[in-house]
């Protein structure tokens, strides 16, 4: 790749102290590229993405987005005493607000959103992050076109929505922040095959409108048509990178990761 | 049997108390639902609000003075509540024991505020002069005009607050931060500021309650103890499932209090209220108007 990368991770490591979840993550995603993450449950994909989104402090390494470093420089200081309130002195090393304002939007997995708010209320506050930027009105129109079902459920509280509808609201909220890049964490988790196809179509439309995507999924067939490159994630590090030309079948990947016994 | 006018008198004073308690309890409830911590300094917010208003009425007399006092007290307490978030809760928010630590810090704040009131204004009882006087009579019972004004303003303020939380973007953002902190952060909302605004709003309603309570009875440095206790009973009795739950509970407690004061005497009233609270805790722990969730 010759173009400058939009998102670049350099030697990123992190986790929930004292447990290290992922380490030495190096990857770059280009301006007009969509990539997929694939790997078994509990291997640190979501923790990595939460760190990139600014919810969790990275331990080491850098997160660079559109040429700017989003995290504080250096490594995280280890906690050496249990008695002092270190949080008082230790600043957050990355803040979700910085990441969102830079245009990197993370759509959480299995999103509960705000159970007691209506769809309309949620979509109303979604563009607050992008306040003052142009294109919000156009994006509202696009969201209505992408998810006509949300128009019908405008007055319903989020907790009465189905899993698929909730996922649509989550993605709509992400889009309304006018993303430079959108991260979708297991968007099809727990959805019926029919809804999965519907959602895949919507995601393809988003990709075709040249919003770079990072998609995490357990289903390789779902990812194959959507992404240009695929990263295999195993025990907290990226073990393999696959180009779209040589995208393997689900079974092949399983063999690759778990051996013939699978 | 009691006569009709006695009954109406008990009911009227119960409803007035209910209005005041609704103001006090709603403030406590929105902090509990938003931050997940219990603010033991809430009672001293009521007291401090009353003292600020009293101080203003000392320099400006009459109805204008009262209005100015109430407005200044509400605005100042909003600011104090806002700042206290960064002192009492924010430094500990990443600690696993946040709930326990907040009990300690807010109790400490309550004690510090109470003693500074004692240092600043002295131990002697004070009273804010009510701006209107006179009474109207209905069905043989006479009701103070000021009581009606207090009830109306209290209910109007609660309605305004509910509309603010439902209709404005900032209010909706505050509810979002209350319901799911992580997602609110991912939307780029400044959750710390929204939390601080919630405590500010809570302190402002406490101040309004303090101004009214301080014009109906005497204020002294321990003035905040009773409102805190009543607000606690109400929030537990009614639950916090909806914005309105503590408001209904406040009227139940207000009327129950005035009934038990009349029939059992002043000293038995708290016992009756606590008995009600314990009964509800045993039978329906999430509160009379609650279900198993806490939201704003």
Partner-chain residue, chosen from A96, A101, A113, that has the shortest CB–CB distance to B185: A96
If pLDDT is split at 50, 70 and 90, which confidence band does A3 have?
low
Please tell me which residue of chain B has the smallest CA distance to A171.
B187
Distance from CA of A51 to the nearest CA of B (A): 12
Tell me the per-residue pLDDT of A41-50, one tens digit each, with 9 for 90 and over: 888 889 999 9
Whether A126 sits inside 8 A of B172 (CB atoms) is: no
Distance from CA of B91 to the nearest CA of A (A): 5
Tokens 């030309």, located at residue? A245
- Contact (CB, 8 A) for A98 and A54: yes
Task: Report how many Cβ contacts below 8 Å link chain A to chain B.
Answer: 81
Residue B211: closest CA among B144, B266, B131: B131
Tokens 């004690």, located at residue? B111
Tell me the per-residue pLDDT of A188-204, one tens digit each, with 9 for 90 and over: 888 888 888 888 889 99
Instruction: Give the strand order in the sheet containing A19-30.
Output: A19-30, A5-16, A58-65, A68-69
Distance from CA of A248 to the nearest CA of B (A): 34
Q: What is the mean pLDDT of residues A127-136?
A: 83
Task: Say whether pLDDT at A262 is over 60.
Answer: no
Omega of the bond leading into B269 within 30 degrees of 0 (cis): no
Residue B277: closest CA among B234, B229, B244: B234
> How many Cα atoms occupy the beta-carbon half-sphere of B113 within 13 Å?
29
Residue B44: closest CA among B76, B90, B77: B77
Whether B188 sits inside 8 A of A114 (CB atoms) is: no
Q: How far is CA B112 from the centre of its chain?
A: 20
Whether B169 sits inside 8 A of A101 (CB atoms) is: no
Quote the pLDDT of residue B279: 94
Quote the pLDDT of residue B73: 97
Domains of chain A, residue spans: 5-72+92-258
If pLDDT is split at 50, 70 and 90, which confidence band does A81 have?
low
More confident residue, B197 or A74: B197
The sign one gets for the Cα dihedral A247, A253, A259, A262 is negative
Residues ≥6 apart with Cβ < 8 Å to A154: A118, A119, A120
If pLDDT is split at 50, 70 and 90, which confidence band does A93 have?
confident
How distant, in Å, are the alpha carbons of A119, B87, B125 from that of B73? 37, 21, 19
- Token representation of residue B284: 């329906």
Q: Among A59-68, A249-258, B54-63, B187-196, name the one with the lowest average pLDDT.
A: A249-258
Partner-chain residue, chosen from B91, B166, B176, that has the shortest CB–CB distance to A114: B176
Q: What b-and-e string marks burial along A166-191, b requiring 16 or more CB atoms within 10 Å of the CB?
A: bbbbbbbbbbbbbbbbbbbbbbbbeb
Partner-chain residue, chosen from A113, A128, A129, that has the shortest CB–CB distance to B183: A113
Residue B47: closest CA among B214, B229, B233: B214
Please tell me which residue of chain A has the smallest CA distance to B97.
A85
Q: What is the mean pLDDT of chain A?
A: 86
Whether A100 sits inside 8 A of B94 (CB atoms) is: no
Partner-chain residue, chosen from A100, A116, A173, that has the shortest CB–CB distance to B295: A116
Partner-chain residue, chosen from B176, B185, B186, that has the shortest CB–CB distance to A117: B176
Tokens 């309603």, located at residue? B205
Best residue in B188, B193, B290 for a mutation probing chain A (most A CBs within 10 Å): B188
Domains of chain B, residue spans: 4-283
Among the ranges A70-79, A204-213, B20-29, which has the highest mean pLDDT value? B20-29
Q: What is the largest CA-CA distance in chain A?
A: 56
Q: Which fold has domain A5-72+92-258?
A: Rossmann fold (3.40.50)
Quote the pLDDT of residue A86: 64
Quote the pLDDT of residue B52: 97
| Other residues' Cβ atoms within 10 Å of the Cβ of residue B163 | 11
What gap in Å lies between CA B156 and CA B158, rounded to an integer? 5
What gap in Å lies between CA B226 and CA B215, rounded to an integer? 16
Quote the pLDDT of residue B137: 81
Q: How does DSSP assign A1-56, residue by residue?
A: --SPEEEEEEEEEEEETTEEEEEEEEEEEETT--EEEE--TTSSHHHHHHHHTTSS
Quote the pLDDT of residue B256: 96
Q: How does DSSP assign A185-242, residue by residue?
A: ESTTTT--HHHHHHHHHHHHHHHHTT--EEEE-S-HHHHHTT-SEEEEEETTEEEEEE
- Contact (CB, 8 A) for B39 and B31: yes
Whether A128 sits inside 8 A of B187 (CB atoms) is: yes
Please tell me which residue of chain B has the smallest CA distance to A116.
B295
Strand runs labelled E in chain B: 135-138, 141-144
Please tell me which residue of chain B has the smallest CA distance to A130.
B188
Residues in chain A within 8 Å Cβ distance of B167: none
Whether B183 sits inside 8 A of A121 (CB atoms) is: no
The strand pair at A181-185 and A213-216 is best described as parallel
Partner-chain residue, chosen from B173, B188, B296, that has the shortest CB–CB distance to A100: B188
Q: Is A94 helix (H, G, I), strand (E, B) or coil?
A: coil
Partner-chain residue, chosen from B169, B179, B183, that has the shortest CB–CB distance to A128: B169
Quote the pLDDT of residue A82: 66
Report mean pLDDT in 10-residue bins for chain B, 296 residues.
Answer: 84 94 95 93 97 94 90 98 95 86 95 96 93 82 89 96 94 94 92 96 97 94 92 92 91 95 92 94 87 61
Residues in chain B within 8 Å Cβ distance of A84: none
DSSP class of residue B108?
H
Q: Is A168 helix (H, G, I), strand (E, B) or coil?
A: helix
For the domain B4-283, what is the CATH code? 1.10.3470
Q: Which residues of A have a CB under 8 Å from any CB of B?
A: 53-55, 85, 87-88, 96-97, 100-101, 105-108, 111-117, 121-122, 124-126, 128-130, 173, 177
Residue B294: closest CA among B21, B41, B98, B38: B38
Distance from CA of B183 to the nearest CA of A (A): 6
The strand pair at A19-30 and A35-38 is best described as unpaired
| Other residues' Cβ atoms within 10 Å of the Cβ of residue B73 | 27
How distant, in Å, are the alpha carbons of A26, B238, B247 from that of B242? 47, 9, 10
Q: What is the mean pLDDT of residues A248-262?
A: 66
Whether A115 sits inside 8 A of B182 (CB atoms) is: no
Q: What is the mean pLDDT of residues A112-123?
A: 91
What gap in Å lies between CA B212 and CA B153, rounded to an integer? 10
Please tell me which residue of chain B has the smallest CA distance to A85.
B92
- Token representation of residue B19: 């209005």
Residues in chain B within 8 Å Cβ distance of A116: 175, 179, 293, 295-296
């Amino acid at each position: 790749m010759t173009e400058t990368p939009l998102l670049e991770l350099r030697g990123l490591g992190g986790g929930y102290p004292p447990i290290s979840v992922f380490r030495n993550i190096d990857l770059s995603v280009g301006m007009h590229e969509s990539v997929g993450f694939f790997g078994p449950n509990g291997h640190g994909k979501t923790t990595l993405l939460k760190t990139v989104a600014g919810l969790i402090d990275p331990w080491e390494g850098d997160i660079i987005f559109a040429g700017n470093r989003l995290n504080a420089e250096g490594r995280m200081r280890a906690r050496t005493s249990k008695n002092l309130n270190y949080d008082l002195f230790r600043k957050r090393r990355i803040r979700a607000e910085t990441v969102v304002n830079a245009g990197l939007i993370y759509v959480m997995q299995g999103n509960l959103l705000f159970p007691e708010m209506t769809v309309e209320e949620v979509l109303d506050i979604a563009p607050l992050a992008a306040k003052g930027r142009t294109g919000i009105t156009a994006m509202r129109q696009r969201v209505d076109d992408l998810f006509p079902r949300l128009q019908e459920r405008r007055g319903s509280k989020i907790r009465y929505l189905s899993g698929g509808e909730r996922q649509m609201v989550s993605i709509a909220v992400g889009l309304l922040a006018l993303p430079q890049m959108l991260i979708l964490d297991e968007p099809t988790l727990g959805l019926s095959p029919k809804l999965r196809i519907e959602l895949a179509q919507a995601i393809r439309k988003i990709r075709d409108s040249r919003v770079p995507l990072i998609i995490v999924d357990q289903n390789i067939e779902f990812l194959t048509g959507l992404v240009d490159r695929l990263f295999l994630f195993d025990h907290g590090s990226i073990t393999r990178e696959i180009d779209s030309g040589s995208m393997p079948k689900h079974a092949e990947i399983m063999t690759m990761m778990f051996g013939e016994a699978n | 049997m009691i006569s009709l006018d006695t009954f109406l008198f008990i009911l009227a004073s119960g409803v007035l108390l209910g209005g005041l308690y609704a103001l006090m309890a709603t403030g406590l409830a929105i902090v509990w639902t938003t931050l997940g911590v219990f603010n033991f300094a809430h009672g001293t917010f009521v007291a401090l609000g009353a003292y600020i208003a009293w101080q203003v009425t000392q320099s400006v007399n009459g109805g204008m003075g009262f209005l100015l006092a109430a407005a200044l007290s509400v605005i100042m307490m909003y600011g104090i509540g806002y700042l206290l978030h960064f002192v009492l809760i924010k430094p500990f928010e990443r600690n696993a024991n946040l709930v326990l630590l907040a009990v300690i810090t807010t109790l400490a704040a309550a004690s510090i505020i109470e003693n500074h009131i004692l240092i600043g204004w002295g131990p002697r009882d004070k009273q804010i002069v009510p701006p209107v006087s006179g009474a109207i009579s209905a069905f043989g019972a006479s009701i103070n005009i000021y009581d009606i004004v207090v009830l109306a303003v209290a209910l109007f303020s609660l309605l305004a607050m509910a509309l603010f939380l439902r209709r404005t973007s900032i209010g909706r953002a505050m509810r979002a931060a209350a319901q799911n902190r992580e997602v609110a952060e991912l939307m780029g909302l400044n959750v710390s500021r929204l939390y601080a605004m919630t405590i500010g709003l809570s302190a402002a309603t406490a101040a309004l309650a303090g101004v009214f309570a301080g014009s109906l009875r005497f204020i002294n440095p321990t003035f905040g103890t009773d409102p805190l206790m009543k607000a606690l009973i109400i929030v537990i009795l009614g639950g916090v499932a909806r914005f309105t739950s503590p408001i209904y509970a406040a009227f139940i407690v207000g009327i129950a209090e005035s009934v038990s004061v009349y029939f059992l005497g002043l000293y038995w009233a708290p016992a009756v209220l606590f008995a009600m609270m314990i009964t509800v805790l045993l039978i329906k722990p999430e509160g009379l108007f609650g279900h198993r969730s806490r939201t704003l």
